[in-house]
Amino acid sequence: MVVTALPHRWQQPCVWQSMELQAITRTSVRGGNLFFPAQKWKNHNRFISNVKAVGHRLILKYTGSRRCSSKKFGTSICCSIGVDKESSVPPSSQLAEAKLIYSVAPALGHNQESHPECNSRVPAIVSELEKMELTPKFRGSEVIELQNFRTASVDDIASVHARAYVSGLQKAMDQAVEQGIIFIDGSGPTYATATTFKESLTAAGAGISLVDSVVAASKIRREPPSAFALIRPPGHHAVPKGPMGFCVFGNVAIAARYAQRVHGLKRVFIIDFDVHHGNGTNDAFYDDPDIFFLSTHQDGSYPGTGKFDEVGHGNGEGTTLNLPLPGGSGDIAMRTVFDEVIVPSAQRFKPDVILVSAGYDGHVLDPLANLQFTTGTYYMLASNIKQLARDLCGGRCVFFLEGGYNLSSLSYSVVDSFRAFLGEPSLATKFDNPAILYEEPLAKVKQAIQRVKHIHSL
């Protein structure tokens, strides 16, 4: 694990807030600086940001509130704080009535404000959930926020990651205390602060505690609640030997091993719809026949892995499916992928549980890639995955937050995912602006789908 001091150029205000696109554009990264073609951004009236043009670039400064603490953020919303004890599963009486259960681990101390993966992300989501009246305060027994969940243990993390990495990161916290913020690897870039190790354990613990709750609910009812871990730092790029691409520990991968080891759920189906390939999850299970990893991602995007022919190795051959989609793919493409690739793959695999790396950076407004998913795309995915879990594995399904860096599109999309879990109509038409969409490259999408179907005999 490489640890270096963080360059001064990252010591800037958070720039990833309240942005929309008139024409699709994405960032390039040069020497750690992030550049935006200025002429392609448009600031819509319903969002507020300070925009300054410098040559052909834009500098955007967040104007919203960042007054966060471990107890409150945004609109006085309480968040769960991990504790070092056994997972606190809600009482059976609560699980018997709930439609949705979620946990919140915002990692407020793990933050570099000029970085896309900054600590405003989870508070923005929870504030929007409150605004849209989707929290227990408004929904009563329908919605549970899991409180007092335990942190993951080092043994939990070591089920996926090398112990040398885990201990090395823990030791690096002393350096982070001295320097304030450090790089913990040379790719991504992935940073750490003095609280990163503890908060990464909390994030992983929030996920595995939801697995506990969903499994407990599945023992007392035929349709247990869907679950969503609103956590950071994200995890699907973190490889077994170390961090990568904003990710510290592989939250989904750790939960998959936990489900097998603790609950005897042998066959785990992982869906990753983040815009970037989940290379860390891919690598962790590449030779494992009992964990099926299916990733849809933008072709050619970071980190450059996830090719069609990456299908697993040895006993695991055939249980890794990678589908790189052409830039510009949108709602039509993803609906077709779900029907023609995800469903038949899951039906053939016959999982005991479905885990989801839920990345919202494929949204048309997100600055880090070039797909044009909409809020409605994410509603469709949440609704259909929920139904797939009901059909195949007793409703056991847990979502884990991965990417999503435009706070508005991220928050709205998670809100609509919650509404899908609750069986309520989408509000996508209130959020989405069809005028910014352009024609999808459906011929190329069809070619990609046919290729992956041929490789995997679907």
Residue 104 makes CB contacts below 8 A (sequence gap 6+) with 79, 80, 122, 126, 145, 206, 230, 231
Choosing from 110, 115, 237, 456, which is the catalytic residue? 237
Residue 178 makes CB contacts below 8 A (sequence gap 6+) with none
Q: Which of 148, 101, 150, 104 is nearest to 128 (CA)?
A: 104
At 6 the pLDDT is 42
**Rounded (10°) angle between helices 251-263 and 196-218:** 40
At 187 the pLDDT is 55
Residue 150 near residue 198 (C-beta atoms within 8 A): no
| C-alpha dihedral (260, 266, 267, 270), degrees to nearest 10 | 0
Model confidence pLDDT, tens digit, residues 363-405: 999 999 899 999 999 999 999 999 999 999 999 999 999 999 9
E-assigned strand segments in 273-316: 291-298
Q: What separation in angstroms does the CA of 320 have from each of 3, 410, 452, 456?
A: 31, 27, 11, 9
At 419 the pLDDT is 98
Residue 273 near residue 394 (C-beta atoms within 8 A): no
> How much of the chain, in percent, has pLDDT values that exceed 90?
77
Amino acid making up residue 102: Y
At 60 the pLDDT is 29
At 184 the pLDDT is 84
Q: For residues 169 and 201, what is the distance between their CA atoms, to the nearest angstrom?
A: 11
Task: Output the average pLDDT for the chain.
Answer: 85
- pLDDT band (50, 70, 90) for residue 148: confident
At 57 the pLDDT is 28
pTM of the model: 0.84
At 420 the pLDDT is 98
Judged by average pLDDT, the poorest of 100-104, 111-115, 226-230, 439-443 is 111-115
How many alpha carbons fall within 13 Å on the CB side of residue 361?
A: 28
At 71 the pLDDT is 40
Model confidence pLDDT, tens digit, residues 310-339: 999 999 999 999 999 999 999 999 999 999
At 188 the pLDDT is 57
Residue 384 makes CB contacts below 8 A (sequence gap 6+) with 338
> How much of the chain, in percent, has pLDDT values that exceed 70?
80
Q: Among this protein's residues, is 237 annotated catalytic?
A: yes
Return left, alpha or beta for 294; rule: phi > 0 is left, psi -120 to 50 is alpha, else beta. beta
At 87 the pLDDT is 54
* pLDDT at 348 exceeding the cut of 70: yes
- pLDDT band (50, 70, 90) for residue 1: low
* pLDDT at 179 exceeding the cut of 60: yes
- pLDDT band (50, 70, 90) for residue 113: confident
Average pLDDT over residues 185-209: 90
| C-alpha dihedral (197, 172, 70, 32), degrees to nearest 10 | -100
Average pLDDT over residues 61-79: 38
Q: For residues 306 and 355, what is the distance between their CA atoms, to the nearest angstrom?
A: 19
Model confidence pLDDT, tens digit, residues 4-49: 444 433 333 343 333 332 222 333 332 333 322 322 222 332 322 3
Q: What separation in angstroms does the CA of 165 have from each of 170, 204, 240, 322?
A: 9, 16, 8, 27
Q: Which of 155, 159, 395 is nearest to 288 (CA)?
A: 159
DSSP state of 83: B
Q: Which of 16, 121, 98, 120 is nearest to 62 (CA)?
A: 16
* pLDDT at 51 exceeding the cut of 50: no
